[in-house]
Amino acid sequence: MRRRGAATLLMVSMAASLLAGCGAKESSQPTTAAVQDTKAAESKTAEKEETEKTAEATVFPKGTVTFYMNGNPQYRQQYFETWLDNHRDIAPEVSVEFVQVESNADAREKITMTSLAGAVEDLPDAVFLDRLNLMDLVQAGLLVDETDFLEPFVEKMVDGAVTDGMVSGRMYGLPDSVRPQLLMYNKEIFDKYGVDPEQMSTMDGYIEAGRQLKEKSSGEVYLSWIGSNNMTWKCWGRRGLMPQANAKVWDDDGNVIIGSDEGTKTALGALDTMYSEGLLMRVEMYDPALYDAVNSQKIATFDIGAYWDEFMRQNCQAVAGQWRIMSAPVFDSAGRAGAPVSSYLCVLEKGKDGVYKELVEQMWKDFTFDKESKEAWVKSMEEQNAPYTNPISLELLEDDFWKEPSDYYGGQSFREWEALTLKNGADNMVVTPQDAEGDEIISAEIEKYVAGDQTMEEAIANMDKNLKAKIGKAEIVK
């Protein structure tokens, strides 16, 4: 099978600056070098187009393209099944299988163990990953370097789409989604108690809105939630307040600094204020009790990732039409909204068994940039009340389809606001190979705090102490 050649865009500069004396004339004819450069560029473009045509004309052998994915992979499988049905000229006897995994970490562990067992033929062809698990598999030499394939598409995607899929300057992840942290709030609750939601543009205003809701509802309404398991650190910490406050676990050299970091004190201090003042209902994320609280108008907001939309639509139809979207609140000290969360489709390095690499790339390309197939799939997802994400294609985002109003959000366009809330996004926290273990250490201290076994100050001090004792120093991978 032929591998797709590297496609490099050659930028030709035709402008020449002349340092001329009095009365000098500027030539209107292109220089010989410019003409040669233009011909070279045209030749490169023609070569690139011919390479792409050859790749697209490749007929792939009979078999099954296998993907690992967590969440609800059956819905993504529907897109790829339709894609294959429409491309039987190049994949006449190819089928697709999505294997559900518990998490990105579970996918990484399964792939690692299969590789260590020497069963390369049993590896999936591709896997959906976040940065932490992508980095681990890159270091193990298990992911294909997609730099040459991706370079022509980078400027066609939203800012930062490829960033978290890069290791040591090379691209290993085909960007699948870039989803913002945003603020969801129940407008009917705010109207009922006369609380202005606009004040929630800042973290101080967000907390003040919680106080007003608690007072005016006689304690019946909570600003949001807090749980006793690792989801509190994951949602409120790593993906929420910590990047919003520019907090750090490690310094630039990998040393533990969470105990002295001012951003950490700001972020977890805000969580402490909300919880200690009774503004957060103690209930577990994804638990039926949480959905019951939302449906009975007991929880007013979620400062959370855009992925939460699918869980709201699936489990909280009693309050459909009441919810609205705005940007995540900013800390005055940092001035940045929530950090986006990126997901990547990664092709496994399978040597001679990797016969579907180019096919996966073509499927990704159409899912990312093809307007007709993407819109048809999204409409099907809405009919099934199933999850989908905004496109990362700048061209697709400009289409009116991605600005259509949503009944669930009272006529507000969730799709449009998902794109808008990417603006002024905070930088994600630095991710290191030690963060899987580090997150367990940090989460354990948060859980003890929620249980009432220690103060937040003690929790932060214990995070610092235990990270230093159990990990010592993290490896900073650029």
Q: What is the pLDDT of residues 335-386, one digit of tens each?
A: 998 899 999 999 999 999 999 999 999 999 999 999 999 999 999 998 998 8
**For residue 4, is pLDDT > 90?**
no
Whether 197 and 249 map to the same domain: the answer is yes
**For residue 138, is pLDDT > 50?**
yes
Residue ending a domain, choose from 355, 389, 423: 389
Residue ending a domain, choose from 329, 364, 389: 389
Whether 352 and 381 map to the same domain: the answer is yes
Q: What is the pLDDT of residues 251-306, one digit of tens each?
A: 999 999 999 999 999 999 999 999 999 999 999 999 999 999 999 999 999 999 99
Whether 225 and 323 map to the same domain: the answer is yes
Q: Which pairing describes strands 63-69 and 126-129: parallel, antiparallel, or unpaired? A: parallel
Q: Which pairing describes strands 301-305 and 170-171: parallel, antiparallel, or unpaired? A: unpaired
The SS3 of residue 48 is helix
Whether 153 and 205 map to the same domain: the answer is no
Which class for 68: exposed (0-12), middle (13-18), buried (19 or more C-beta within 10 A)?
A: buried
Structure tokens at 103: 């998490």
Report if residue 45 sits inside a domain: no
Q: Rounded distance, CA 475 to CA 168, Å?
A: 13
Report if residue 5 sits inside a domain: no
- Considering 34-38, 246-250, 386-390, the range whose residues carry the highest mean pLDDT is 246-250
Q: Which pairing describes strands 301-305 and 181-186: parallel, antiparallel, or unpaired? A: antiparallel
In the 8-state DSSP scheme, what is residue 321?
Answer: T
**For residue 468, is pLDDT > 80?**
yes
CATH number of domain containing 288? 3.40.190.10
Whether 260 and 283 map to the same domain: the answer is yes
Report if residue 7 sits inside a domain: no
The confidence score (pLDDT) of residue 14 equals 31
Domain count, the chain: 2
Report if residue 23 sits inside a domain: no
**For residue 235, is pLDDT > 80?**
yes
Whether 216 and 316 map to the same domain: the answer is yes
Whether 451 and 382 map to the same domain: the answer is no
Whether 137 and 272 map to the same domain: the answer is no
Whole-number CA gyration radius for the chain = 25
Report if residue 42 sits inside a domain: no
The confidence score (pLDDT) of residue 17 equals 31
Whether 114 and 199 map to the same domain: the answer is no
Report if residue 6 sits inside a domain: no
Report if residue 207 sits inside a domain: yes
The confidence score (pLDDT) of residue 58 equals 86
Range of the structural domain that residue 378 is part of: 59-172+341-389
Lowest average pLDDT, out of 53-57, 195-199, 214-218, goes to 53-57
Residue ending a domain, choose from 354, 389, 424: 389
**For residue 2, is pLDDT > 70?**
no
Whether 82 and 112 map to the same domain: the answer is yes
Whether 293 and 230 map to the same domain: the answer is yes
Mean pLDDT, residues 216-228 taken together = 98
Report if residue 50 sits inside a domain: no
Q: What is the pLDDT of residues 139-166, one digit of tens each?
A: 999 999 999 999 999 999 998 899 999 9
Whether 357 and 314 map to the same domain: the answer is no
